[in-house]
Amino acid sequence: MAQKNKIELGDIQRTLLLPLWGRAVETQKKEPLLVDKIAVEIVKQIDCDFSVMSKDLRFISLYGWIRRSILIDETVKHFLEKHPKATIVNIGCGLDTTFERVDNGLIHWFDLDMPDTIELRKIFIPESERRKYIVSSFLDYDWLKQLFVEDNILFIAAGVLYYFEEFQIKDFFKKLADMFSESEIVFDTASPFGVKMANKLVIKKSGFNEQSFLKWGFRGSKEFKLWDNRIELINEVSLFKNAKKRLGFKQYIEIIVSEIFKIQSLIHLKFKKSDYET
């Protein structure tokens, strides 16, 4: 048997294993909602007992990871219809494979994450002429100077922002508005109740410690205008909108509850020019 690759990641970074496993599981279903063959191969090759990590996970967690990927794929593809030579920045990329699903042969792609994650990523997913890695925390703003922008720019942050404090997200958005007016960002959120439940039912039950807990509980899109009037809401949608087909009764109820209380959402924002910019 081939030797498996050992996992040496920080507390928050280790949580990337959960959506990776989720995409691998979905891919191997008879009629998958999402196909990620790279995830299947990575799961086979890394030294991790996913059966222990995933044994107590609820359906809605796995389904949420898949829905998030589907909706982000759709957002990127729509963006590329308007900006075929766009720059896409995948913040906190983990072992994500969005690039493989949306690449139009013209885009410029940057995957950003911490040193330990990028080192692991390089084992399975190599860089290329149009796909480059950036080693940095997204809060160390020097990395923004490395971006090459030929057309417009779209930032992706899947499963990332709620691990940080609200003031950090606010400052980051202001920085993007300062440097890349007319750029856009798409990311998922969890409500304060969702953050509490995720920490209790996902993070803890999967064997992660409190250093991996979610922090930012999203209270509604009206907040963004209070942060900065250059932030414009393009779309706010439940992760599970129009996604109730092929669900059992119990699964359907879980989805309905999540939608009623807006527990998990996908947010798409644009950073407009200020009134003082020409």
CATH number of 13-271: 3.40.50.150
Which long-range CB contacts under 8 A does 76-81 form with residues at least 24 apart? Answer: 76/102, 76/154, 76/156, 76/186, 77/102, 79/152, 79/154, 79/184, 80/104, 80/107
Query: Considering only CA atoms, which of 52, 79, 271, 81 is closest in space to residue 180?
Result: 271
Note the pLDDT of residue 2.
56
Query: Considering only CA atoms, which of 72, 73, 96 is closest in space to residue 18?
Result: 96
Q: 230-277 pLDDT, tens per residue?
A: 999 999 999 988 776 667 778 878 888 788 778 899 999 999 987 655
Mean pLDDT of 19-23: 93
Q: How confident is the model at residue 1 (pLDDT cuts 50, 70, 90)?
A: very low
Return d(Cα 66, Cα 203) in angstroms, integer: 18
Note the pLDDT of residue 275.
62
C-alpha dihedral (154, 36, 66, 19), degrees to nearest 10:
-90
Return d(Cα 201, Cα 185) in angstroms, integer: 28
- Total-model pTM: 0.91
Does 46 score more than 90 pLDDT? no
Domain spans in the chain, listed from the N-terminal domain onward: 13-271
Return d(Cα 268, Cα 155) in angstroms, integer: 10
Contacts (Cβ under 8 Å, ≥6 apart) of 139: 164, 168, 171, 172
Burial degree of 155 (CB within 10 A; 0-12, 13-18, 19+): buried
Return d(Cα 187, Cα 270) in angstroms, integer: 12
Q: 56-79 pLDDT, tens per residue?
A: 677 888 899 999 999 999 999 999
Does 209 score more than 90 pLDDT? no
